[in-house]
Amino acid sequence: MKDFKRYTIILLFFSLACSKSEVSLQDYYEWQEDESNGVHKTKTVGEIAFDMKLLSPDYLTYLELKGEKGAVTPQLKDSIMKFYENNLTFVLTIGPAEESHFDITSVGVKNYEEYAERMKQLNFGLTELLELRAGGKKWKPVIVEMENIYGLEFHRKFNIVFSPEEKADELVKLDKFTVMFDDEIFGTGTSSFGFLKSSLDKTPAIKF
């Protein structure tokens, strides 16, 4: 009986130690922003800065359930989480480098035709320029969506989603993966953003 109690306490201790800590949304943003945590990568080429963030399934589930009026059951949360776990979702921000001040939708643009072409590229052309690579395999994004901007901003944000093509769990099983962006728009060449699955696993859970 004594042994049973002891084992129960040890098991309880381990399960508590292994469970993810729950943090507020603000703390999650702070954790995500810190590049040393591995889910946020930045690059600057010339006057253009790239910022790529890997979003956790927990955060995406949070966003989806945020507006939910009824009670969020654990089953509902788990099913949404499962969906996001099988995909890889990123946010790419393209903007001017630190000391530069220009709107990326119009930099280098000479006339209206070129502006229209730039907007077309930004709205619809990024799918062709982005690729996920891991272990010799390549995936094209299934969604690339430019976020609407309601104000004067110099940068633009893109939501990018990669989905499995053959097996549902093929992306979950990747230990490391790289998002390649072949920049034909601003002429900065190919930029790679590498991520480790272990970094995603370390992401803190968000308090719902």
Partner 1 sequence: MKKTHYFLIGAVIISTSIAVYSFFATPKIAVVDFKRLVNDYQGMKDATLEYEKKMTGWNTTSDSLTDAIKNELSDYYADSAFLSKQERVNRETKIISMRNKFMEFSKGLEENAMAEDQKMTIEVVNQVLSFVEKYGNDKGYDVILGKNEGDEVLYRKASMDITNELLQALNRNYEGF
Contact residues: partner 1, CB under 8 A: 41, 43-46, 176, 178-179, 183, 187-196
* Min dist. Cβ of residue 141 to partner 1 (A): 16
- The region that residue 46 occupies, defined by phi over 0 for left and psi between -120 and 50 for alpha, beta otherwise, is left
Toward partner 1, which CB reaches closer, 77 or 155? Answer: 155
* Min dist. Cβ of residue 156 to partner 1 (A): 20
Nearest to 35 by CA among 52, 22, 56, 60: 52
Toward partner 1, which CB reaches closer, 125 or 194? Answer: 194
CA distance 144 to 160: 5
Q: Residue 74 carries which side chain, given as an amino acid letter?
A: P
Both tokens of 8, joined, read 């129960």
Q: Are 58 and 203 in contact (CB under 8 A)?
A: yes
CA distance 120 to 113: 11
* Min dist. Cβ of residue 199 to partner 1 (A): 10
Toward partner 1, which CB reaches closer, 45 or 72? Answer: 45
Toward partner 1, which CB reaches closer, 106 or 190? Answer: 190
Contacts of 99 (CB under 8 A, 6+ apart): none
Q: Residue 49 carries which side chain, given as an amino acid letter?
A: A
* Min dist. Cβ of residue 75 to partner 1 (A): 37
* Min dist. Cβ of residue 48 to partner 1 (A): 9
Toward partner 1, which CB reaches closer, 98 or 166? Answer: 98
Q: How many Cβ atoms from other residues are within 10 Å of residue 33's Cβ?
A: 12
